[in-house]
Amino acid sequence: MSKRDCPDADVLVLGAGIIGVSVALHLQRRGKSVVLVDRRAPGEETSYGNAGLIERASVIPYGFPREISTLLKYATNRSADVRFRWSFLPRIFPWITRFWLQSSGRRLRRAALDMLPLIERSVAEHTDLMAEAGILHRARRTGWMEAYRSEKTFAAAKRAAGALDEFGLRYDFLGPKELQLREPHLTGTFIGAIHWLDPATVADPGKLVKDYAGHFVRKGGEVLQADATTLSQREGGWSLRTASSVLRAHEAVVALGPWSDVVYRRLGYRIPLAVKRGYHVHIEPAGDAVLHHPIVDVERGYLLAPMAKGIRLTTGIEFADRDDAPCPAQVNQTEPHARAIFPLGRRVEPAPWMGSRPCLPDMRPVIGPAPRHKGLWFAFGHNHHGLTLGPATGRLLAEMMTGETPFADPAPYTMSRFG
């Protein structure tokens, strides 16, 4: 092979969010030379805007509700949990129908069992990467809370938590006094809470991804800016154009989250990827108020999380086109409720941040080879759990790519399930 034909790397990883960075690190561990490419710096898209949860307790995927009362609230945009852009509804309705069908009791349990090996390894795999990168102090092992305003809703939540005992999760039921002891500055009318103890949290998920990427670079990896749409198959591998050159590699990984379709559609693949948009805004705590745990106000549909930039108020789901202009309705709807339960001062940012979560209707990601293109691999569609499952996904895909025995059965994540 001439020097001109020699590849620049073994693998090109497209996407520098938590999934792509984790894949790059795990391939690097296994002796592969890797170039990580994105249009922006690591951790500045979807991975930046989340609640900072490494969600070991989410053993049941986020399915579509079946209760008529809940569906009516969603359909009329009366709930902060879910909001529709009416002009987008005809386009998303077929996907929602598939999602609803996959959310039946039997199918939801099957999805839970399929996802369990990744969920079970979520905290451990993050801990492993953090320790290697010298940032283990970033993990907070304090869990998170769901807070309830009504006895009826709290009782139902207790029953649902008890149904998860087969998965070995640890949790505490808190009455008003116990909740006040753990969160002294809460001022709302909560009658109780569930404190999930197994998850870990981080105070700046975007910075965590940057730290992982920095570790990747220190170990000899390369991070470049490039346009993923220029990916093309070439003899012996794959190539990608940058502003000044053409990168070449034997293999390529598409880990572009909600933008993965810009690559796979051009290559002829039909994958039912949709996005659920979400928003957050940072607000300064008032006075000396301290929030010790992320806390969900279940009946009002928002989450407050202590972050490096203040208290992060995150919203539920917005069904809209990925590239539509932002709409702050959910933030504006929930912020007064948040201010009623916790002392909050001024907003840190002038406008809420918006991001898109890549989701598939059967609540499983695509992790594995592209069947019609040698050397092309996919890793996207993690359905709200990208931060949680990044390192576990990275390990699983790297094991598949290097011929190791995978720590989990990859069959549930193959793209062939979509035909």
Q: pLDDT by residue (tens digit) across 148-179?
A: 999 999 999 999 999 999 999 999 999 999 99
Q: Where are the beta strands (DSSP E) in 135-273?
A: 144-148, 171-174, 192-196, 200-201, 222-225, 232-234, 237-241, 246-254
What letter would DSSP give residue 24? Answer: H
What CA–CA distance (Å, rounded) separates 385 from 118? 10
Q: Which long-range contacts (CB under 8 A, 24 or more apart) does 174-183 make?
A: 174/145, 179/145, 179/147, 182/145, 182/292, 182/293, 183/145, 183/291, 183/292, 183/293, 183/295
pLDDT at 72: 75
Q: What is the mean pLDDT of residues 256-267?
A: 97
pLDDT at 161: 97
pLDDT at 322: 95
Contacts of 201 (CB under 8 A, 6+ apart): 51, 52, 53, 54, 139, 140, 142, 143, 144, 293, 294, 305
**Amino acid in the structure at residue 178:** E
366 pLDDT band, cuts 50/70/90, is very high
Between 56-60, 86-90, 217-221, 382-386, the lowest mean confidence (pLDDT) is in 86-90
Residue 78 pLDDT greater than 80, yes or no: no
**Amino acid in the structure at residue 323:** D
pLDDT at 6: 58
pLDDT at 128: 98
415 pLDDT band, cuts 50/70/90, is very high
Bridge partners for 252 per DSSP = 12, 376
**Amino acid in the structure at residue 327:** C
Q: Is 214 helix (H, G, I), strand (E, B) or coil?
A: helix
What CA–CA distance (Å, rounded) separates 195 from 368? 35
271 pLDDT band, cuts 50/70/90, is very high
Residue 287 pLDDT greater than 80, yes or no: yes
Q: Give just the sign of the alpha carbon dihedral 115, 121, 174, 296.
A: negative
Contacts of 246 (CB under 8 A, 6+ apart): 239, 240
What CA–CA distance (Å, rounded) separates 267 from 370? 10
Q: What is the mean pLDDT of residues 349-365?
A: 96
Tell me the chain's radius of gyration from C-alpha atoms: 21
Q: What is the mean pLDDT of residues 357-381?
A: 97
386 pLDDT band, cuts 50/70/90, is very high
| Whole-number percent of the chain with pLDDT over 70 | 99
Residue 374 pLDDT greater than 50, yes or no: yes
pLDDT at 2: 37
β-bridge pairing 237-241 and 171-174 = unpaired
Backbone phi, then psi, for 286, in 5-degree steps? Answer: -85, 140
What CA–CA distance (Å, rounded) separates 343 from 210? 31
Which CATH number is 1-63+103-139+202-273+361-419 given?
3.50.50.60
Vertex 109 angle, CA 106 and 111, to 5°:
110
What CA–CA distance (Å, rounded) separates 269 from 159? 42
Residue 4 pLDDT greater than 50, yes or no: no
Q: What is the mean pLDDT of residues 206-214?
A: 98
Q: What is the mean pLDDT of residues 216-220?
A: 98
Q: What is the mean pLDDT of residues 224-252?
A: 93
Q: pLDDT by residue (tens digit) across 293-311?
A: 999 999 999 999 999 999 9
Do residues 53 and 201 lie in contact, with contact meaning Cβ atoms separated by under 8 Å?
yes
Residue 22 pLDDT greater than 70, yes or no: yes
What letter would DSSP give residue 2? Answer: -
Q: What is the mean pLDDT of residues 82-90?
A: 90
pLDDT at 199: 98
Residue 381 pLDDT greater than 90, yes or no: yes
Do residues 361 and 418 lie in contact, with contact meaning Cβ atoms separated by under 8 Å?
no
Full 3-state SS string of 63-100: CCCCCHHHHHHHHCCCCCCEEECHHHHHHHHHHHHHHH
Residue 126 pLDDT greater than 90, yes or no: yes
Residue 9 pLDDT greater than 80, yes or no: yes
Residue 247 pLDDT greater than 70, yes or no: yes
Residue 221 pLDDT greater than 80, yes or no: yes
Matching residue, tokens 């077929």 = 94
